Structure 1
Amino acid sequence: MNILKEFAKIFIKSKLDDEKRKLKDKLQKQIITTTSTSVVARNVAYLGIIDKLDGKGIAEVNKIIDKI
């Protein structure tokens, strides 16, 4: 059973890293394409905390960005 747990951990970490990368790309694209200093400041702040997020945190940030 430990082998299955290890595979699950690897899969979850891979998916989480993929979601972080997608979120970073989305935020960086907004930074590049906007002229709003508040959007740039907000996205830079988000980028600063993304690496510390777990799956639930990433889902919440994605919800906020989708509302914009």
Structure 2
Amino acid sequence: MNILKELTKIFIRSKLEDEKRKLKEKLQKQIITTTSTSVVARNTAYLRIIDTLDGKGIAEVNKIIDKI
């Protein structure tokens, strides 16, 4: 059972990292291509949030998996 949980954690962590990377690329592309200062500010804030919450988000997912 523990092996299954560990494999699930690895899979979910991998998927979260992939989604995080895709979102960051999208936000950075918008920052580069826009002339709107509000879009730049918003996307910069989103990028900071993504980086800050990453570890906590994975920890929360792991807690949920452990309860299964």
The equivalent residue for 1:19 is 19
Runs of 4+ in 1 over 3 A off after TM superposition: none
Bigger Rg over Cα = 2
After TM superposition, the score normalised by the length of structure 2 is 0.76
CA deviations on 1:2-40 (whole Å, 9 max, x unpaired) are 001000000000000000000000000000000000000
Give the match for residue 64 of structure 1: none
Q: CA RMSD for the aligned pairs?
A: 1.4
TM-score, with structure 1 as normaliser: 0.76
Percentage of pairs with the same residue = 80
Number of residue pairs aligned between Structure 1 and Structure 2: 55
Identify the residue that residue 3 of structure 2 maps to in structure 1. 3
